[in-house]
Amino acid sequence: MSIDNKSNFEDNPLDEYQYQEEPGNGGENGPKSNRIFLWVAGLIGGIFVILIIGLIVFVLLNRNRLAAQFQDEAARINAENTAIAQQATEIAAQEIMRLTEKAMVPPTWTPTVTLVVAQATITPPVVGEIDVELDSAERTATVAAFLTQVAGGTPTPGGTPGAVIQEAPQVL
């Protein structure tokens, strides 16, 4: 076959090769090693199937016992939760009663008369007195002059005549 002759597909150089059987072949029945492999694979598969069937039977037989255990545990947990809730309710009721008792006035309570004794105290001397008799126009003028000074306007000389600043007396 040449590279130029692409149209002739009937010439196959591998047609002349003769296949020979490998030595150790068992003839028509196949090799002996394959037979042993199939026996081992079947044995392992059978054991696996038996184990699966045993596991299914075990689960079916013990399902009721496990369900009963789970129900008993659930009942125990519910009883414990109920007891805790009841105890919390009782404690809350007791606290409410204590608060109510503290807020209630005793039924025998009556107002009592407390005697007040007047005692003489020392009054600090007054440095100066504010003339309260100034009329409101003079007071307004004094406040306006003060606000003008604070705002940075033109200062007024003095203030309202007759107004005297007094220090607050200190209590000992």
pTM for the whole structure: 0.30
Chain segment 32-80, per-residue pLDDT in tens: 668 888 999 999 999 999 999 999 999 888 888 888 889 999 999 999 9
Report the C-alpha gap between 147 and 120 in whole angstroms. Answer: 42
Chain segment 78-116, per-residue pLDDT in tens: 999 999 999 999 999 999 888 887 777 666 767 777 877
Task: Answer whether 152's CB lies under 8 Å from 158's CB.
Answer: no
